[in-house]
Amino acid sequence: MGQKVLIIGGVAGGATAAARLRRLDENAEIIIIERGQYVSYANCGLPYYIGGTIRNKNNLTLQNPQGFKERFNIEVRINNEALAINRKSKTVQIKDINTNEVYEESYDKLILSPGAKPLVPPIDGITIDEVFTLRNIPDTYKISDFIKNNSPKSALIIGGGFIGLEMAENLSHKGIDVSLAEMSDHIMSASLDFDTAAIVHTYMQYNGINLYLNNAVKSIKKQTNSSGNLTITMANGENLTADMIILSAGVRPESDLAKSCGLELNKIGAIVVNEHMQTSDNDIYAVGDAIEITNFINGKRCNVPLAGPANKQARIAADNIYGINSVYKGVQGSAILKLFDMSIASTGLNESQIKQLGIDYDKVVTISPSHATYYPGASSMTVKTIFNKENGRILGAQIVGFDGVDKRIDVLATAIRAKMTGFDLTELELAYAPPFSSAKDPVNMAGYIIENIMNGIVKQVHWHDIPLLAENNDYILLDVRTPYEVSQGKITGSINIELDSLRQNLDRLDKSKKIIVHCQSGVRSYYAARILMEHGFDAYNLSGGYGFYSIVV
């Protein structure tokens, strides 16, 4: 008989660890303890069941206890809650929720996969029946049943993270008027910077989502009136009404069990593990949303509750229990979100994280077509690539667009994992045909611009530099778009000389001043900056162009 491995918690981490361990060791005794009634389910798909995209509730359940037993010879005890861990005797006290029986189960090795619990802010009225959180299948059915039975006309979502945005879309698909309140100045602040998020803000409002940024909910009161059953008072004193509320203010590690048995935790309560997923007790491993791990890029310790890393950690824990010396090399936070028809993706570090580290960095913003523009259906994507100014190494990327966002973020995520630089991006040979890409892929284009900046071929400024430059007599703001484009909107104080007539109008520009050049996307202005630099001007290109500037500002 092999080792006896007890696993507390199913879903991504626990179920994956169990299946991997069985594939390695046919003789191990493996038991999963799950306090809920579902051991393995598609928690990332829950919002789409509520919205009606996923219609069959059975599709949410990936595996059941009987299936685990038949295929993997793994015992799954659902509706069983782990109450306490005795590390000295290597036993777990467990309660059968159905019978209230309390019993003990021994282990040789223990894997903790408790996940994370929704963060509930101290809001007056947060516990009323019309306020919902979304963590598991019962939560999903509860929300779905409420919508079916009560036909709510309006909903407020508290929090602008992944679940908040996915629920905004899916409630909107149900014909519900949706508002979203976020304490930060932009949504998805853990992944996106303000400037890329601004594109999403505009798109959300275009799709009828009411946004309340830099604003927190102060209280919720239930009352029956013609415009909504709930009155919500915001921190700024404004009152909103809604028929239901989705609480999506973030999550916290569910580590009470680990804490009670004396395992090491960090400041936010995440379980501290080493590169082998071992806790401070060598016979206890932990995986998933409840653990502290290392950021691959900066080496700092962090907590990143994502399904992809959880699955990798589970595999590594199982390997090490079996005897394979697998190592988890860190997380980089690659993620993507669908919002109506838009794709929002990020990988690596964002600017706020990099600033905290004191790294000398820069960024390029490129507006690229998803595929060759002469082939029907091309759409633009905004690619923000952040790099180390010292060596050009890629530190992070954010992409907002429609078609083709997923494959570009995956290429950039791979580039970060391989510690590649902007110079390396120029050399990537990526698949090309007109329906799929351009001969110069958006990833290549980001690399070309980084290469130009690193080699001094072009200098740049960013949208946040413009207000200061516009008031400085040492600078000229030059718009090289067509007169028609300028008539649709311009940067105050700029002068217009169209690119194709620039060479004939150089005498209109003062060589003693710095020339800040911009077009709609940054491409024509790059050409203009090169012309000016070749003629002895001190020229700078506006990264992302007027199109990006106008959305952000």
Give the active site residues: 44
Q: Phi and psi of 334, rounded to 5°?
A: -70, 130
Q: Which of 112, 107, 111 is CA-nearest to residue 90?
A: 107
Sequence-distant (6+) residues with CB within 8 A of 299 are: 330
> Cα(290)–Cα(253) distance, rounded to whole angstroms?
4
Sequence-distant (6+) residues with CB within 8 A of 553 are: 463, 466
Strand partners, 234: 217
- Helices then strands, counting H and E runs in the chain, come out as 16, 33
Q: Phi and psi of 520, rounded to 5°?
A: -80, -40
> Cα(410)–Cα(404) distance, rounded to whole angstroms?
10
DSSP 421: B
DSSP string computed for 129-192? TTEE--SSHHHHHHHHHHHHHH--SEEEEE--SHHHHHHHHHHHHTT-EEEEEESSSSSSTTT-
Q: Which of 175, 134, 192 is CA-nearest to residue 158?
A: 134
Residue with tokens 């090795």: 109
**Contact criterion met (CB below 8 Å) for 1 and 29:** yes
> Cα(67)–Cα(58) distance, rounded to whole angstroms?
14
The H-assigned helical ranges of 159-304 are 162-173, 194-206, 256-260
DSSP 177: E
Tell me whether residue 403 is exposed, middle or buried, using C-beta atoms within 10 angstroms of its C-beta: 0 to 12, 13 to 18, 19 or more. Answer: middle
> Cα(317)–Cα(370) distance, rounded to whole angstroms?
39
Question: How far are the Cα atoms of 159, 499, 525, 548 from residue 520, in angstroms, in the given order?
Answer: 33, 12, 8, 8
| 272 sits in which H/E element | strand 271-272
